[in-house]
Amino acid sequence: MAKVKGFLYVVCFVGSIALNIFFVINYLFAVYANKQLSWSQRAAADAEAVASVSCSGHGRAYLDGLIVEEKPVCECNTCYEGPDCSQFLPDCAANADSGDPLFLEPFWMQHAESSAVLVAGWHRMSYVFADHTSISQVLVNHILKVHSIARNAITKGKYIVFGVGSTQLLSAAVFALSLKSSSPARVVAASPYYPVYKTQTDFFETVHFEFQGDALVLKNTSDSGENVIEFVTSPNNPDGHLRKAVLPSANAIYDRAYYWPHFTAIPAPADEDIMIFTISKLTGHAGSRFGWAIVKDKDVYLNMCEYFQLAEMGVSRDTQLRALQLLKVVLEGDGSEIFHFAYEKMRDRWEKISQTVSFSKRFTIQEIPPQYCNFFEKIRGPSPAYVWFKCEREEDTNCNDVLGAANIIGRSGSLFNSEDRYVRLSLLKSDDDFHLLLYRLKELVAREDGTETM
């Protein structure tokens, strides 16, 4: 009996010692692996606490959101409400208006660890980087790598300049090009075109340039196209078609926001004199307001640099730091994961919409032919960012009204300098938004059959 007792004592003692050794090794390992955090602990814990708030998959809480009773408040997706966003609002409109690229949000939630970035209180307080510019060369290098993987742009021997989103780069490019000539430049774009080209150029009009509308109209006049600046969006917003400048002698600004495998085949790397890209349509971070231009001509580049220096002394270093972290994730592995993720999601959405509309005699959508893609190294089908939706019935001159009656919100064709028989429907938004759009479109097309058989 005493022997058994003694044995048990020994087992317990050895077990206890072993447990202690385990704890000590664990502690030392944590220290070695730099897992014992000090000043960064609070910020990290705050971010995790906010991320752990449950919003039923139909919303999320943010670090800078409202706090009620010490708890971060859920911000719900459209058509959801309640403290945890669990209540669906059945009469809520399917909003396919904006180009908010939330379809990529799940990608970043899957890459929570690698995409997080902790900004120290003293991070980059200065106006300039060590090289006295306001542009992070490390970020430039990452951008160049992303282009070389996506095979969507020739960057060699060209200059890179950053802007507050591609929006600002468009304006800077017009300014820069317009300084090349003493007479005012005429700014044009072929219809249908992205509305900002007109609204922005009109608002910021100087003595050096003015907006003159449709490039096709200008082409059809006897005009030579001299001293013309042409915006070319390729693939085009709203219709997703790959485009070239219609005025060969114009100074073209290529808006390449959508020239990623997400949205289009990449037949060849783009090689224009001015190409504008944005993180908004690459990683989905529209809120970060970060874009870049790839510029061939040194004088144009220097004019653009002067623009950014005088407009706001460069892009926020906080934004540049975050963009860098996001691009590091994009470049992980062979750098193709985000392109596969985005392409598959966009293709799936397009196919579902296509199939739905194929049952309709009243509505059509744009046709985009399959094409060889330099990135996927095969022929691939369409996956555009937007549906260019058309009401075919003669009486349906305002297609957005027709959609509105079916509780769908789109963007009217006239905003793109086209007919209101067209409506742009965004495929870029959250899964919730897309599912509701699809559901409402299916209902609309089904009712059409009902009407016709009545």
Q: Binding to its own copies (CB under 8 A): which residues in 196-255?
A: 196, 199-200, 203-207
Question: How near is the Cβ of 453 to its own copies at its closest, in Å?
Answer: 41
Q: Which of 185, 150, 144 is nearest to 324 (CA)?
A: 144
Which neighbouring-strand residues pair with 210? 186
Residue 233 φ/ψ, nearest 5 degrees? -100, 120
Cβ closer to its own copies: 253 or 326?
326
Question: How near is the Cβ of 126 to its own copies at its closest, in Å?
Answer: 5
**Calpha distance 382→220 (Å, rounded):** 31
315: contact with its own copies by CB under 8 A = yes
Stretch that binds its own copies, among 288-296, 334-342, 345-353, 380-388 (CB under 8 A): 288-296
Q: Are 253 and 173 in contact (CB under 8 A)?
A: yes
Position among 225, 235, 314, 413 found at the interface with its own copies (CB under 8 A): 314
Cβ closer to its own copies: 278 or 417?
278
Q: Are 169 and 195 in contact (CB under 8 A)?
A: no
- Residue 339 corresponds to which tokens in the numbers above? 């392109």
Stretch that binds its own copies, among 263-271, 317-325, 361-369, 414-422 (CB under 8 A): 317-325
**Calpha distance 352→431 (Å, rounded):** 13
Position among 109, 268, 379, 446 found at the interface with its own copies (CB under 8 A): 109
By CB under 8 A, what part of segment 34-53 binds its own copies? Answer: 34-35, 37-51
Residue 73 φ/ψ, nearest 5 degrees? -90, 140
Which residues, including other chains, have CB under 8 Å from residue 368's CB and lie 6 or more apart?
A: 240, 241, 381, 382, 384
Residue 390 φ/ψ, nearest 5 degrees? -125, 135
Q: Which of 246, 254, 174, 240 is nearest to 209 (CA)?
A: 174
452: contact with its own copies by CB under 8 A = no
By CB under 8 A, what part of segment 138-197 binds its own copies? Answer: 138-139, 163-165, 167-168, 171, 196
Position among 158, 219, 241, 289 found at the interface with its own copies (CB under 8 A): 289
Total number of residues that touch its own copies (CB under 8 A): 104
Q: Are 319 and 350 in contact (CB under 8 A)?
A: no
Question: How near is the Cβ of 41 to its own copies at its closest, in Å?
Answer: 6
Question: How near is the Cβ of 310 to its own copies at its closest, in Å?
Answer: 5
Cβ closer to its own copies: 320 or 412?
320
- Residue 392 corresponds to which tokens in the numbers above? 């075919």
Provide the 3-class DSSP secondary structure of residue 252.
strand
DSSP secondary structure code for residue 396 in this structure: -
DSSP string, 39-51: TTHHHHHHHHHHH
Stretch that binds its own copies, among 61-69, 152-160, 334-342, 381-389 (CB under 8 A): 61-69
**Calpha distance 454→432 (Å, rounded):** 33
Cβ closer to its own copies: 113 or 452?
113
CB neighbours of residue 335 within 10 Å: 16
Stretch that binds its own copies, among 60-68, 145-153, 250-258, 264-272 (CB under 8 A): 60-68
Cβ closer to its own copies: 7 or 127?
127
Residue 381 φ/ψ, nearest 5 degrees? -85, 180
Stretch that binds its own copies, among 325-333, 358-366, 395-403, 411-419 (CB under 8 A): 325-333
Position among 233, 319, 383, 412 found at the interface with its own copies (CB under 8 A): 319
By CB under 8 A, what part of segment 68-107 binds its own copies? Answer: 75, 98-102, 104-105
Cβ closer to its own copies: 203 or 372?
203
Stretch that binds its own copies, among 83-91, 146-154, 320-328, 440-448 (CB under 8 A): 320-328
311: contact with its own copies by CB under 8 A = yes
- Residue 282 corresponds to which tokens in the numbers above? 């690459």
Question: How near is the Cβ of 96 to its own copies at its closest, in Å?
Answer: 14
Position among 68, 120, 405, 454 found at the interface with its own copies (CB under 8 A): 120
Provide the 3-class DSSP secondary structure of residue 253.
strand
Which neighbouring-strand residues pair with 95? 409
Which neighbouring-strand residues pair with 251? 229
Maximum pairwise Cα distance, the chain:
114
Position among 60, 345, 349, 411 found at the interface with its own copies (CB under 8 A): 60
